[in-house]
Amino acid sequence: MEERLQKVLAKAGLGSRRQMEDWIREGRVEVDGKRAELGQKVSDRQRIVVDGRRLHLKPADASAPEVLVYHKPLGEVCSRDDPEGRPTVFHKLPRPRQGRWISVGRLDINTSGLLLFTTDGELAHRLMHPSREIEREYAVRLLGHVDMPMLERLVDGVELEDGKAHFAAVEESGGTGANRWFHVILKEGRNREVRRLWESQGVTVSRLTRVRYGPIILERKLRKGESRPLHAAEMKALYQAAGLDVPVIVAPVPEKHVRRPSHRPKQHEARKRHRR
C-alpha cells in the first residue's frame, strides 16, 4: 500500500506532517537515491533516507500508531536529555514498536499529572495546535483569597506578558483555608499558563496536576511514574478530537469503561460555592 511521503514520515514519529513537508522542500529526504518530491507516494519497500540516515519502514499492519498515557511525578523534566542530570519523563517509557515517542505538550518540573506520548507526529501536532482548542483540565491547590469577581476576570481574560489569556472554565472543588482546590480548563498550552493566570490575581499555586487532556482522563489507579497504552475506544476518541482519520487499531488490553470525574467544570461558567 502506498501513502504520501510526508504522511509516512510523520507516522514514523519524525515530526508533524507540515514539518515533514518543509523537510522535503529543503531536500533533506531522498527516495530510492533521488531527491524526494512533495506529495509523492511511497511504499514500505522503497529506500527512504532522511538527513543521510535510512528510515526503516515496517509493513502497515506492524506500524500502527501507538499512544501512551503517563502519570508524571514532580521532579521530572519533559526534555529527552537534561544537562543538569535531572530525571526525564522519557526514561520510564517502554520502547515503541517503531519510531520514537513524541510528547504531546509539556508539564514543568513542579507540575504532575497526565502526559500523552505518541509515535504519530501528525496526531501530536494536531493535539497541541491552538486551532483545535483541545481542552486541558487541571486540579489546582491555591494559597490566597479567591472571590467571585476574580473568577469572572479569569474566565473573561487577563493580560499576560505574552498576550491575553483566560480559563475556559473554573470551578471550586473543595477544601478550606490553605487547601482550597479548583478545577480549571484551558484550550491552549502556553508556558506555565495556569500558574501565571492565578499569579496575575495575587494568588499562589501550591500544587498543580493535569487530570485530563482532550477526551483522555488520568485514572486514579495509574500510579505516578507509570504508563499504559490507550484502549481502542480512547484512541478513536483522541483521533476524532484531533480531526484525523481513525487508524486501524488493535487494543493492547481489554476495553474498560472510564468514568469521567463528577466535578468536571461546565464550560464558559465560573462558580463559587459558599459555606454558610
- How many other C-beta atoms can be found within 10 angstroms of the C-beta atom of residue 112? 21
Q: Which residues, other chains included, contact 10 with Cβ-Cβ below 8 Å and sequence gap of 6+?
A: 16, 17, 19, 20, 120, 121, 122, 125
Residue, of 68 and 251, whose pLDDT is higher = 68
Segment (H or E) for 221: none
* pTM beyond 0.85, yes or no: no
Q: Which of 82, 107, 104, 121 is nearest to 194 (CA)?
A: 107
268 pLDDT more than 80: no
Amino acid 213: pLDDT: 97
Which is higher by pLDDT, 56 or 33? 33
Q: In the chain, where does the domain assigned CATH 3.10.290.10 lie?
A: 3-62
| Of 150, 216, 218, the residue nearest 208 (C-alpha) | 218
Gap between the Cα atoms of 20 and 23, Å rounded:
5
Span 173-215, pLDDT tens digits: 887 766 789 999 999 988 999 999 999 999 999 999 999 999 9
Please write the tens of the pLDDT for every residue from 67-115: 999 999 999 999 988 889 899 999 999 999 888 899 998 999 999 999 9
Range(s) within the chain of domains with CATH label 3.30.2350.10: 64-254+263-276
Lowest mean pLDDT among 12-16, 28-32, 119-123, 232-236: 12-16
| Catalytic site residue from 32, 51, 82, 108 | 108
The fold of 3-62 is 3.10.290
To the query of whether residue 108 is one of the catalytic residues in this protein, the response is yes
Cell numbers representing residue 102 in the block: 513524541
Top CATH class, 64-254+263-276: alpha beta
Find all residues with CB under 8 Å of 84, minimum gap 6, and list them: none
